[in-house]
Amino acid sequence: MMQSSPFNWRRAVILFGRLALAGVFLFAAYSKIFLPNSLFGPLPFKFALSVNLQNFAPSVEQYKVVSHDMAVTIAHTLPFVELGLGLLLLIGWQIRIWLSIASAMLVGFLSLLTWAFLNHMDIKDCGCFASSTPEPLNGWTLLRDGILLAFALAITFLAFVEARKPHPWTARANS
């Protein structure tokens, strides 16, 4: 009896889903690290990197959840965590772990945005993606992040369901 193909609909959804999530996290990291001041050359690059990360700190601090020093620490580490997570999702190694961490990060981001929105905080730039034009916190931002979270949770669930099934190449054929 011939074995089934290892590429079923669940695996296709997981593959395309993790690649899409990787793209979102990589773009978020890229936009925070490189976009606002993209200068080229060894010395200007280091200066632009420092300025970009320092410019992200007020976006973190405006939520009034952490102190100034902690906001600076988060602003200097979060883009690199997003970069690492995006790369790990892209290569596909241990995807259940990284999808779970991505979902947990999105739960944290959406919780913070919802808390700020419900408390009527005047957030001029949500800090999701750094750009030349600020993105204010509004219902569309919450909807976008909510859809992204639902997508990440669905992909994570499918990855755990698929891991419970035997792999078609290693499953023994019934004779």
Domain presence at residue 83: yes
For residue 132, how far is the Cα from the chain centroid? 20
pTM equals: 0.82
Q: Structural domain of residue 111, as residue ranges?
A: 9-164
pLDDT at 2: 45
Candidate from 33-37, 40-44, 70-74 with smallest mean pLDDT: 40-44
Q: Is 17 helix (H, G, I), strand (E, B) or coil?
A: helix
Domain presence at residue 59: yes
Domain presence at residue 2: no
Phi, psi of 174 (to 5 degrees): -75, 125
Q: Is pLDDT at 94 greater than 80 in this prediction?
A: yes
The total domain count for the chain is 1
Candidate from 36-40, 72-76, 142-146 with smallest mean pLDDT: 36-40
pLDDT at 155: 96
Domain presence at residue 70: yes
